Homo-oligomer: A and B are copies of this chain.
Amino acid sequence: MTENARVAVVGVGNNTSALVQGINFYRRTGSLVGIHRPQLAGLSVGDIDVVAAFALSDGKVGKDLHEAIFAPPNNFPRLDAHRPESRRPGSSGGGSPGAEAGLAPSGVVVQRGLVDSAGIPRMAHAIEGAEVLLYSAPSGRPETARAYAEAALIAGAAFINTTSDSVAREPSLLRRFEEAGLPLIGDDLTSQFGTSVLHNTLLRLLEERGLTLISSYQVNLGGTEDFRNLVETPNTKHQSKVNALGTDKVQIAPLGYLPHLKSQKIAHLNIEAQGWGETEVSLDVRLKVHDPSGGAGVNIDLIRLAATALRDGRGGYPAEAAVHLKSPPGTAV
């Protein structure tokens, strides 16, 4: 029987909440709903142990992971809310938010994360024993991202960069992971079911059917802290979205941070095309999805993939990861 994958997580935001809650949810309920790959190299979605977690905010550091994932500004919902029948007996009496959500304390206390490269040795020590270091902090701090990658190199762990910051696209860094026999996965997660994958699929369909694309747009609205960061600080997200679509006929409207959406993302897509006889074809789509679920649903595969590659001694960028990334090695930074 395959051993559980051991993962350390950087960032205790909504994506980590969705990941941690989901692992517990699927372990407890046995549900297979909404899972991309029930088994991957012998690992089911419940076969993952989070062994360490890092954050920067005072509201999270020092708390049990199962409590910290509900601290503001996190706003991903409690996965148990709509499945009251699955609550563990006796768990309803607990006073802490984690307990209310059917989560016993994890035993993992959130530690303070890196702020600069001076902390790399400490971090390398702190993640000892982890097979995978999942970097799931907000986009927009490329130096920090790369400092964590350095710590993973020292500790002998695989590294996954889910942000749009350039890590796996750094050729020298990728080479060092290859040489160390450590997997390096990134950059920028394609959500399990997000705007990019949907938009791409529709554009490909058009092409397959012989229609000619005239114009297209995409609007993304969301209410998470991630969205706020993306809106307020200059970042590489826009370029990464353009990389993902591979055409310049699509126009991407500025991201809209709408707090009341909480962890939901809403996207409006429009496609104008021409078919036989140059007659008009138009397509309008509205997608509503929990953004962190889309991230967790892919992270669960990347973690298993990274752990497996590590165990097999395959260093560098694993080709199987490509389908899950917007900006893999070789694309524009």
Q: Which residues does A use to contact B, with CB under 8 Å?
A: 18, 21-22, 25-26, 31-37, 77, 79, 82-84, 192-193, 197-198, 201-202, 205-206, 209-212, 214-215, 217, 219, 221, 231, 251, 253-256, 258-261, 266, 268, 270, 273-290, 293-294, 296-297, 300
Contact = CB atoms under 8 A, between A and B. Distances in A.
A170 B214 CA distance: 42
A198 B77 CA distance: 32
Contacts of A270: 266
Contacts of A217: 221, 256, 258, 260-261
A256 B259 contact: no
Nearest to A281: B289
Contacts of A297: 209-210, 275-276
Contact of A279 (B34, B37, B84, B268): B34
A294 B278 contact: no
B192 A198 contact: no
A279 B293 contact: yes
A35 B210 contact: yes
Counted per complex, copies of this chain come to: 4
Given A34-B212, A268-B268, A79 B278 contact: yes
B201 A205 contact: yes
Given A254-B255, A277-B293, A280-B288, 13 more contacts: A26-B277, A34-B276, A35-B210, A36-B209, A192-B209, A192-B275, A193-B209, A193-B281, A197-B209, A209-B297, A253-B258, A275-B290, A276-B300
